[in-house]
């Protein structure tokens, strides 16, 4: 299966379905975020799932353990391949999410958003670098018994060494020469995989391309070429 999950960052279910049609057979799955879920709910997710690809629900759940556990139970009928929660919710919340999830759903914890850098962390009272915070939260996630974390490509090499069986989602991935937009800590697809990423989340370089199918085909070819080296 391809490690590339395409981020359909839209509330328009028809646009998301069109993207799914264009990348079906090439992408490893579709990532649907909070914007899409709030606009379309369960029915929208099922509509995209009709295209036969695994669904990554990036909802970043963050609340008291009981509330997050009940939310995961509510999402369970959708059988997402991957579901995100926030590592900052703490160990009990992470444990509750994992306990409520279907066996086939990987629960992964968001560590530090790829739109944040050290200055941003300082503004919310977190000392040290993004890498320091990712390591702390990765240790917490591993101890809680969930499946893995979300981190940038800048940190995935270090955390994969300390968590050999972890599942690592790397967003903010940009092909060589692509616009980084609002992302501050980005890497190329090939580099992220070489450093230990399990799946890559790529959005605008594919979804905003003139020809999304060609864009993902080119990225997949780059990844395959690197894998053969």
User: Active-site residues: which are they?
Assistant: 60
Distance, CA of 13 to CA of 40 (rounded, Å) = 7
| Rg, Å, the chain Cα set | 17
Contact (CB, 8 A) for 48 and 27? no
Distance, first Cα to last Cα, the chain: 19
Contact (CB, 8 A) for 59 and 33? yes
Helix runs in 113-199, H state only: 118-123, 130-144, 156-162, 189-194
Distance, CA of 120 to CA of 114 (rounded, Å) = 11
Question: Which uninterrupted H or E stretch holds 42?
Answer: helix 34-49
Question: Which uninterrupted H or E stretch holds 170?
Answer: strand 167-170
């Amino acid at each position: 299966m391809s490690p590339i999950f395409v981020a359909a960052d839209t509330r328009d279910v028809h646009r998301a379905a069109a993207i799914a049609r264009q990348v079906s057979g090439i992408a490893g799955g579709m990532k649907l975020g909070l914007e899409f879920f709030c606009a379309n709910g369960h029915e929208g997710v099922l509509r995209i799932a009709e295209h036969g690809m695994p669904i990554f629900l990036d909802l970043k759940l963050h609340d008291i353990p009981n509330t997050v556990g009940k939310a995961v139970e509510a999402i369970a009928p959708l059988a997402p391949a991957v579901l995100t929660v926030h590592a900052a919710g703490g160990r009990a919340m992470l444990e509750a999410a994992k306990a409520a999830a279907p066996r086939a759903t990987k629960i992964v914890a968001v560590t530090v958003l790829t739109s944040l850098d050290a200055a941003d962390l300082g503004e919310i009272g977190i000392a040290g670098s993004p890498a320091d915070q990712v390591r702390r939260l990765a240790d917490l996630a591993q101890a809680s018994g969930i499946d893995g974390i979300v981190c940038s490509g800048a940190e995935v090499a270090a955390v994969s060494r300390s968590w050999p069986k972890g599942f690592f989602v790397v967003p903010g991935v940009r092909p060589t020469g692509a616009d980084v937009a609002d992302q501050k800590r980005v890497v190329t697809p090939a580099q992220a995989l070489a450093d230990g990423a399990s799946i890559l989340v790529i959005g605008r370089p594919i979804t905003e391309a003139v020809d999304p199918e060609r864009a993902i085909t080119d990225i997949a070819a780059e990844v395959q070429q690197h894998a053969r080296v």
